[in-house]
Amino acid sequence: MGRDRPRRDEDTEMTRWLAPALMAAVIVVALGACIPGTYLDPLDNYARGLRLFDRGQPENAILFWKPLAEKGDCDAQYRYGTLFFLGAGVPQSFDLARDWWSKAANQGQYRAQLMLATAHGHRSVTTGSFVRAFRVDCRQGCGVPRDLQRAYEWLRLARDLVPRNLEAFRQQANLEIVDLEAELTPAQRADAEHRISGWIPSPARCVPREL
């Protein structure tokens, strides 16, 4: 029995050392949840809507996203359009989805630009948050004629506007761009490059959140 005492003392000492460390870690996580601009930001209605959507409550996410979208928030416009595409919490409408995606894309929301490229190119893509992913499948048209030049233009813009840290997104976009280029005529390619170089955000450039 006596031989076990040093070991018990070591365990007790380790527990005394770990307890404050664990408490500190909990405090750091708790404080991190309150930092503005994060997924858990309690004051950002866009983030609140995103958390509700990820929990499978799109009808509640709308309560936060719709007012923001109507005020011009490009992230909320993208998400609100996605709800119409999915028919999640609202009647499914590809037309309304494209309308809201266009509002966001015109401001520089690269995710919305990717959605428009997917629709016009009659392609399919998996997107969403790190908690809940979903597929946007437009291989059957999504209500618009196939327009490879428009798909190419939107995808090029999305690739150029994506944050530098999202390298996987950029690499996938590059692969899609190569595929689209192969189907464009030289005249279409030249016209697309002209339109891309002259693109100006409207009504103003937005900076998408990275949550």
Structural domains of the chain ordered from first start: 42-197 (1.25.40.10)
Report the pLDDT value the prediction gives residue 4, as an integer from 0 to 100: 52
The pLDDT of residue 26 is 45
What is the block-wise mean pLDDT of the chain (211 residues), using blocks of 10 residues? 51 47 45 71 95 96 98 98 97 98 98 97 88 91 96 98 92 96 97 97 95 85
* Lookup: tokens for 154: 């939107």
Max CA-CA distance within the chain? 89
Cross-strand partners of 94:
none
What pLDDT shows up at residue 8?
Answer: 53
**Separation CA 70–CA 65 (nearest Å):** 9
pLDDT number for residue 132: 84
Tokens of 197: 């170089």
φ, ψ of residue 103 in degrees (nearest 5): -60, -45
Helices (H), 41-166: 45-54, 58-70, 74-86, 94-105, 110-120, 148-161
Which residue in the block uniquely carries the two structure tokens 């966001």?
Answer: 104
Residues 6+ apart with CB under 8 A from 138: 118, 119, 121, 122, 123, 124
How many CA atoms are closer than 13 Å to the CA of 128, on its beta-carbon side?
A: 17
